[in-house]
Amino acid sequence: MKYHHPKGKAVNLGRRSLAGLALVLSIPWSACTAANSSESMLLEKFQSGNYSKKGADSCLMCHKKSDSVMAVFAGVHGNTERSDSPMAGLQCEACHGPQGKHRGKNEPMITFGTSGNVSAELQDSVCLSCHQDDGRAHWSDSVHTDEEVACVSCHQVHVASDPVVNRSNEVAVCTSCHTEQKLAMNKRSAHPLSDGLGAGEMVCSDCHTPHGSLTDASLTQLTETDTCYQCHADKRGPVLWEHEPVTESCSTCHNPHGSVNDAMLTQRAPMLCQSCHASDGHASRAYGDNALGLGENAFTSGQSCLNCHSQIHGSNHPAGSALQR
Ligand code: HEC
Ligand code: HEC
Ligand code: HEC
Ligand code: HEC
Ligand code: HEC
Ligand code: HEC
Ligand code: HEC
Ligand code: HEC
Ligand code: HEC
Ligand code: HEC
């Protein structure tokens, strides 16, 4: 099987490739004083645009023995039938840049990943030349971008199918960096996150958009509560008697990633309640009684405050103003 460059002539760039070039060039290299020498040389290569005449065939002459290189043809980016695929355009050079004089060590090609020879921002500009769409609208101001987490920190392209876009593998990719959330999701009370072995059906991207969003913590919905209502619609108001913190932020009382306490509570009652209600009349009794050694009562035993205030998310009962029914 041959992967001939469909255009025949390398200078004949498709519109997408030109967009890609423009994006790469729009990065202010001059402002980047610490740019290493291979970065500047790769920029020059891009500007002179010496694409090979035979596209992938000229690369495969030397690279076809590598299974990992050839695997690109098994995935979406190796599809020669789609007009918007790299293989229908500049082929390998759509991502690795123009060949120029590259024959091995003599002249570099763009490489990706943490040991890549260009910055995360430049690596990303290659991907964004085709993927700058609604899905990436908030990428440039996302925390991942600030932290130099690149597209290829999560995505792989030289594979038949990219693990991270598969719901059974996503969580493992995220928790390879997010160890705190990994610890939390293994606690006694947690959301049923997929472990890749068939257990659990939720993934991080049910609540977060990995490409950034308008909200703190890159949530999928405009507010945190809306993110939770997607699945917990019964907690959505309006109710007759609201409990103020519930309408504001579920995570004031719940750790969405997991907790040692029942119902993923950040603390147990009465401490949880007293973090806000310690000075409210009888609400301070739970500590007082214990301190005096008076033993268990409705305030300290069982569900503590919830023994009476069971409608903690709000009440629809006409007489439920104290969230007790
Ligand atoms: C004449 C042989 C030859 C040709 C033609 C060739 N390469 Fe290479 N390429 C090599 C060799 C050898 C290396 C390894 C250099 C090294 O170890 O530093 C290499 C390295 C690379 C690397 C870096 C790999 C890494 O892990 O650092 C990339 C990417 C690459 N080539 C892409 C291409 C592309 C794309 C083409 C076609 C446009 C191409 N090469 C054409 C021989 C070739
Ligand atoms: C859609 C962008 C894209 C296309 C198209 C692409 N690559 Fe890559 N290439 C990458 C990325 C990203 C990596 C880093 C490893 C990874 O993510 O799989 C990489 C890694 C490599 C490497 C070094 C690692 C290895 O597996 O040896 C070589 C060599 C290479 N590519 C050559 C090629 C050749 C030859 C082609 C064309 C047949 C090609 N690439 C097409 C993006 C691309
Ligand atoms: C020349 C254009 C082009 C470039 C450059 C490109 N892609 Fe793509 N990519 C595509 C096309 C076309 C698809 C298929 C889109 C679809 O199915 O809707 C695709 C699909 C994807 C998907 C979805 C994969 C799946 O299995 O569903 C991911 C993830 C992706 N690309 C990441 C990347 C990353 C990361 C880079 C940079 C290393 C990159 N792309 C560079 C054209 C490109
Ligand atoms: C933190 C990990 C992570 C990073 C970084 C990341 N992605 Fe993704 N990407 C995902 C996950 C998870 C999915 C599947 C779930 C989803 O679509 O939200 C995905 C889906 C995609 C898809 C297919 C669905 C869609 O939105 O079109 C494309 C294309 C894509 N990513 C491109 C990119 C590009 C380009 C970059 C860099 C600018 C990038 N991604 C950075 C994790 C990541
Ligand atoms: C049920 C929804 C939900 C799921 C599933 C979820 N998160 Fe979160 N995450 C949130 C909310 C809400 C916040 C913001 C409030 C907070 O920090 O508790 C957050 C915050 C974060 C933060 C920022 C924490 C900080 O201290 O600034 C990171 C990082 C994070 N999540 C990673 C992950 C990862 C990785 C996964 C998958 C293992 C995941 N989340 C799954 C809802 C979720
Ligand atoms: C290569 C490492 C890496 C991977 C993989 C990774 N992240 Fe992150 N992520 C970071 C770093 C670094 C930060 C910033 C520090 C922090 O908040 O932990 C961050 C921050 C976040 C935040 C907080 C964002 C905000 O706006 O406050 C969320 C949410 C998040 N990541 C979700 C994810 C999800 C979901 C995945 C998997 C699809 C993922 N991350 C994969 C490194 C990574
Ligand atoms: C994608 C769907 C989904 C989203 C979004 C979601 N949850 Fe859940 N939640 C679940 C599932 C599934 C369970 C487990 C139900 C069960 O075990 O019966 C659950 C259980 C819970 C529990 C009870 C745990 C227990 O041990 O009893 C709490 C508390 C909770 N979620 C809070 C939240 C909060 C807060 C948010 C928003 C940050 C949220 N959820 C977003 C699906 C979701
Ligand atoms: C003021 C603290 C507080 C806030 C804020 C809060 N919850 Fe809860 N939540 C609790 C307590 C306490 C329990 C345990 C109730 C019990 O054991 O009867 C609970 C239990 C739950 C449960 C499991 C039992 C059930 O009722 O289904 C879910 C799901 C839940 N909360 C979702 C949410 C969502 C979604 C939000 C935001 C809209 C939220 N909570 C806001 C205190 C809170
Ligand atoms: C993050 C702070 C916070 C936490 C935690 C909290 N509350 Fe509240 N609670 C409030 C606020 C604010 C109000 C509204 C007070 C007002 O209107 O004067 C309120 C109102 C109430 C009311 C009275 C309803 C009313 O409007 O008068 C009861 C009863 C109540 N909370 C019980 C609890 C219990 C039980 C817990 C523990 C499970 C708890 N609260 C946890 C902040 C909190
Ligand atoms: C034995 C049942 C019971 C227990 C246990 C209980 N409460 Fe109450 N609480 C009530 C009743 C009944 C009211 C309504 C009082 C009224 O209308 O005057 C009330 C009212 C409140 C109010 C409304 C404001 C106020 O002071 O009138 C708050 C806040 C409150 N309780 C918090 C708590 C907290 C926090 C705990 C746990 C430390 C707790 N309660 C334990 C029965 C209880």
pLDDT score of 26: 41
Ligand 7 centroid to Cα of residue 147, in Å, is 29
Percent of the chain predicted with pLDDT > 90: 74
Mutate to test the pocket of ligand 1, among 50, 92, 95, 102 (most ligand atoms within 8 A of CB): 102
- Per the prediction, the chain carries an average pLDDT of 86
- Lowest pLDDT segment from 21-35, 170-184, 188-202, 306-320: 21-35
CB 265 within 8 A of CB 253: yes
The CA distances from residue 56 to 41, 190, 286, in Å, are 22, 48, 73
Confidence of residue 18 (pLDDT cuts 50, 70, 90): very low
State yes or no: pLDDT of 132 exceeds 90. Answer: yes
Which tens digits make up the pLDDT trace of 134-160?
999 999 999 999 999 999 999 999 999
Cβ–ligand 7 distance for 118 under 6 Å, the answer no
Atom of ligand 9 nearest to the CA of 275: 5
pLDDT score of 286: 55
Ligand 3 centroid to Cα of residue 234, in Å, is 38
State yes or no: pLDDT of 235 exceeds 50. Answer: yes
Distance from C-alpha of 168 to C-alpha of 161, rounded to nearest angstrom: 13
Residue with tokens 């659990």: 200
Cβ–ligand 3 distance for 211 under 6 Å, the answer no
Which tens digits make up the pLDDT trace of 194-218?
988 888 899 999 999 999 999 999 9
Cβ–ligand 1 distance for 145 under 6 Å, the answer no
Mean pLDDT, residues 95-104 taken together: 95
Confidence of residue 246 (pLDDT cuts 50, 70, 90): very high
Confidence of residue 296 (pLDDT cuts 50, 70, 90): low
Query: Using CA positions, which residue lies closest to atom 42 of ligand 1?
Result: 104
Cβ–ligand 1 distance for 99 under 6 Å, the answer yes
Which tens digits make up the pLDDT trace of 39-62?
888 988 888 899 999 999 999 999
pLDDT score of 197: 83
- Lowest pLDDT segment from 50-64, 278-292, 306-320: 278-292
Reading the block at residue 197, the tokens are 């072995």
Ligand 10: residues within 6 Å at CB?
270, 273-274, 277, 280-283, 286, 298-299, 304-305, 307-309, 322, 324
Cβ–ligand 2 distance for 273 under 6 Å, the answer no
Atom of ligand 6 nearest to the CA of 174: 37
Pick from 105, 109, 84, 107: nearest CA to 95 = 109
Mean pLDDT, residues 168-193 taken together: 96
pLDDT score of 89: 92
The upper half-sphere exposure of residue 119, i.e. CA atoms within 13 Å in the direction of its Cβ, equals 20
pLDDT score of 27: 42
pLDDT score of 284: 64
Ligand 6 centroid to Cα of residue 178, in Å, is 7
pLDDT score of 99: 96
Cβ–ligand 5 distance for 193 under 6 Å, the answer yes
Distance from C-alpha of 110 to C-alpha of 93, rounded to nearest angstrom: 9
Stronger pLDDT, 10 or 303, i.e. the higher one: 303
Ligand 10 centroid to Cα of residue 235, in Å, is 22
Query: Using CA positions, which residue lies closest to atom 41 of ligand 10?
Result: 305
Mean pLDDT, residues 77-96 taken together: 94
Distance from C-alpha of 285 to C-alpha of 185, rounded to nearest angstrom: 34
pLDDT score of 195: 84
Mean pLDDT, residues 79-85 taken together: 92
Give the DSSP H/E element, type plus range, for residue 248: helix 244-248
Ligand 10 centroid to Cα of residue 234, in Å, is 24
